[in-house]
Structure 1
Amino acid sequence: MSFSILNAPAHGQLEYFIDLARQTAPMPTAIIHPVDDNSLQAALEAHQQRLIEAVLVGPRQKIEACAERCDLDISALRLVDVPHSHAAAAEACTLVHRQEVRALMKGGLSTDEVLSAVLDKSNGIRTDRRLSHLFVFDVPLYPKPLFLTDAAINISPSLADKKDMVQNAIDFCLALGIAQPKVAILAAVEKVNPKMQSTLDAAALCKMADRGQICGGLLDGPLALDNAISAEAAADKHIRSAVAGDVDILLAPDLEAANMLGKQLIYLAGAKSAGLVLGAQVPLILTSRAEKTQGRLASCALAALFMQPKEAA
């Protein structure tokens, strides 16, 4: 199937992703330890909407008790019975190795437990690439999907970490049909300042892209947020850039900056969000406990769209 998010409307982008994913085959997805109401309901709804083919991995007794408490019919879903959350995370990775699932979704366990299993040296599903979280936003005042990394995993990323974070985000956008994603390396200022590490990293990342160490995207930085988002703001500061004002991907200096920016977009700008963790053998759907149903479904849809071109290749 051929698709591109370039056709996404200015608004209602998450709904558009969900509609696109419904046109693909449901993606086999391991739901890890779905013993809480939110994760089990989200898994069942995503399964019913044919976004995923849900495989529930966890203690049968607890999962069935949760289903009974929430009045959910999970009889059509495959259930892999394991004794506890640690075993559920490990078994989910085993299912990836067996090629029985093509994505993982966090249930009622901590993110640390999931990542520990993913990164395990003997049974994990890590790659040579650093794991990183990617937010996807539908921002009312921005005309296309806006991607932000990393608001959830890499606390104080090194230059090497940022290289992988950028490449993960670029690869994701390429898979969704953006031919040359535009990446803004964010800082507080637009000029390289030896006293500000974020500006030095930005300059290095741009040169790495020039030398082919980062592929597939167009990078610029350091850029402050205003001139990354607004062509008018960039012009006022006499910044000549093919990225400024038309950015697809924002790379924040660290997790705190990304996390605050992401929550500002949601709670002050009315943005809708979805998110994934990239860099493993399969995408990880790690939604927040506060995430609404639409965000959970959109995250499943984006994982399915990300993996779908690889099936067709």
Structure 2
Amino acid sequence: MNQPVFIEQLTPDGEVLHRTKVTHLPARIGRAYDNEVILDDPHTAAHHAQVELNQLDELIISDLGSYNGLALGKNRERFFVVDGDHIYRLGHTHLRIRTADYPVAAEVSDSTNHHWEGWLPAFTGLLLLLTSGLLSTWLADLNQGTLSKYLLELVSVFGFAIGWSGVWALFSRLFNGHARFGRHLFIVSAGLAFLELWEHGSGLLAYAMSWESLQTFSSHPMIFICAVVLYFHFITAGNKQPKRLQLVLAAIAILGSAIAMTKEYQASNHLAGELYMSKIYPPAVRISRDHSLEEFMTDMEALKEKVDSARKTEPKE
């Protein structure tokens, strides 16, 4: 053998768990301790497979008579000619075999913002929480509450954000090796700020433009904002399948919206979360045109005819 062979054990997603350098062939693979590559998989045999050169000087991996055999995708054969891009399955173990001259991909550009670490994102997140929390409490405060009321609101929001970020930091530490508590705190703070902004902004815009659906269906954009927050948490925690993660979270958000509308329909026979616009703002905020009394009475007559018709057609209880 002119060059060493590297046998890699992979996760189901293709991540390398362990890489073994083999300098002589044949090299056996299995659970027995006299193998060149030792597996910790009860679904593999003591001597499961072997990497060797065939008569054509081709590198092959062959089955040694194991019960579960050797597979490439859905194909199960006694042996395969090795391709560095193929992943072979032995029991529940995924293997990839490459030689020293295998061409690796070009260096990937480091797009990570290493300056956005530690206290900078954490301080920015706390500032966002402070601003959005005070603004939300002030907008909802009709009776000019005391300072203790504002402090209680801030403490509850801070406690939730710090606890939530701590859980994600622990998750990141376990699976990525880096806690990144500051980034997680910024993500949850930005998410809460966007939720507050949407809650107040959607009501204001709905009143100003007479777009009732912005307020009556306001819970659905909140579900998607939460899905976006979860996406950035997972990416920060080290998820390496962003496309798959986007599809999963989008499906969960759509399912959540469908469940919410179903519950509302069962409760009130309407898909909207609110039947009417519950937030009223000063008339000066209005941008849409005013409607005359004649238009209002015409709409009421049409509604009256509809209600009277429904009463006549429905059976009496």
On whether the aligned pair clears a TM of 0.5, the verdict is no
Structure-2-length-normalised TM-score: 0.21
The higher relative CO (CA closer than 8 Å, separation ≥ 6) is in 1
> Which one has a bigger Cα radius of gyration?
2
- Greater helix fraction, Structure 1 or Structure 2: 2
